[in-house]
Amino acid sequence: MMRRDLFEITEYAISKGLRTSVSPTTTALTTKERLGRLQDLGIQMIHISLDGATEETHDAFRGFTGTYQRAMDTLGFLKELGIGVQVGTTVTTTNLHELPRMAELMAEHGVRMWSLFFLVPTGRGRIDEMITPEQAEATWEWMCDLSETAPFAIRTTAAPQFRRTMLRRIRSKQAEQAKAGEATSEVRMTGAGYQMREAPSGIQTRGVNDGKGFVFIDHRGGICPSGFLQLPAGNVRTDSLVDVYRNSKLFKELRDPTLLKGACGRCEFADLCGGSRARAYGVTGDYLADDPLCTIQPE
């Protein structure tokens, strides 16, 4: 919201046929009037960050007093305006216990999408703030349960394991149906960032991951696999975005599941999930290494 050309950029992007969203920080600049102007231009979604169910938790994580209240005020503005809202929550050791209450807040504010970011140790993110692999598995199972009743959609960032958690749950239900002599059909699942079909011929997937269906342009023009894996493979000032995405060594390696190492490379869900490449890099320095947040140890 500090950019004087924000509305000009927004209008240009929409005129090019892009589904355009804005993720403003919760400062005094994010007013109802400015949000209304974005709505008039054709913005389809506004993303707001909320990292705790309480003022104490959120403000401590953000490092600024009053950000929780500003976030809640902004959610109120968006609900009044009728703009689609996505809320992003970074899951850490400090707010894990508050996720059920946060889910209630999503419903109360008419949120359309709740996106849970599983911490990647980059920037100000610290390894000691990461939840354990066992806690992550339990959280994905809880999210599966929630997705069956919540009035909002649920997605993850830096946690493609949520997709295989959902698939394993469906397979378990199918096994129960088969045992009871009931008919089962092929699996079809879609969600933010993936399409999945499981038929007798095998799993057919399109799952987004760092550099796989996703590209991030940093503030210097660097063409990166994602915001959490800021390794530039080129620069939009000098290189073709399309060529870098399709043909650069970095992006091609990230899209090849046969190159994954360790448990991720042996896993049957290497293509559907593949683990967070950003977290693997953040912890080990190797973007093809194991995702340390996963508990699966395939033979």
CB 29 within 8 A of CB 3: no
Q: Which residues pair with 205 in a beta bridge?
A: 196
- What is the pLDDT at residue 232? 98
Q: Are residues 117 and 197 in the same domain?
A: no
HEC profile for the chain? Answer: CCCCCHHHHHHHHHHCCCCCEECCCCCCCCCHHHHHHHHHHCCCEEEEECCCCCHHHHHHHHCCCCHHHHHHHHHHHHHHHCCCEEEEEEECCCCHHHHHHHHHHHHHCCCCEEEEEECCCCCCCCHHHCCCHHHHHHHHHHHHHHHCCCCCEEEEECCCHHHHHHHHHHHHHHHHHHHCCCCCCCEEEEECCEEEEEECCEEEEEECECCECCCEECCCCEEECCCCCCCCCCECCCCCHHHHHHHCHHHHHHCCHHHCCHHHHHCCCCCCCCCCHHHHHHHHCCCCCCCCCCCCCCC
State pLDDT tens for residues 203-229. Answer: 666 678 999 989 999 999 999 999 999
What is the rounded CA–CA span in Å between residue 30 and residue 103? 24
- What is the pLDDT at residue 183? 75
Q: Residue 282: pLDDT above 60?
A: yes
- What is the pLDDT at residue 202? 64
State pLDDT tens for residues 90-142. Answer: 999 999 999 999 999 999 999 999 999 999 987 777 888 999 999 999 999 99
What is the rounded CA–CA span in Å between residue 154 and residue 192? 8
Q: For the whole prediction, is pTM greater than 0.85?
A: yes
Q: Are residues 81 and 40 in the same domain?
A: yes
Q: Are residues 125 and 184 in the same domain?
A: no
Q: Are residues 142 and 268 in the same domain?
A: no
> Per the structure, how many domains does the chain have?
2
Give the pLDDT band (50/70/90) at residue 170. confident
> When comparing pLDDT for 299 and 29, which is higher?
29
Residue 1 lies in a domain: no
- Domain boundary, last residue among 103, 129, 159: 159
Radius of gyration of the chain (CA): 20
Domain span holding position 267: 168-284
Residue 298 lies in a domain: no
Give the pLDDT band (50/70/90) at residue 295. very high
What is the rounded CA–CA span in Å between residue 126 and residue 277? 17
Q: Which residues pair with 47 in a beta bridge?
A: 86
- State whether the Cα torsion 154-157-159-163 is positive or negative: positive
From the centroid of its chain, how far is CA 170?
Answer: 22
Least reliable range by pLDDT among 21-35, 182-196, 200-214, 220-234:
182-196
- Domain boundary, last residue among 97, 124, 159: 159
- Domain boundary, last residue among 138, 159, 180: 159
Q: Are residues 14 and 149 in the same domain?
A: yes
Residue with tokens 């500003």: 70
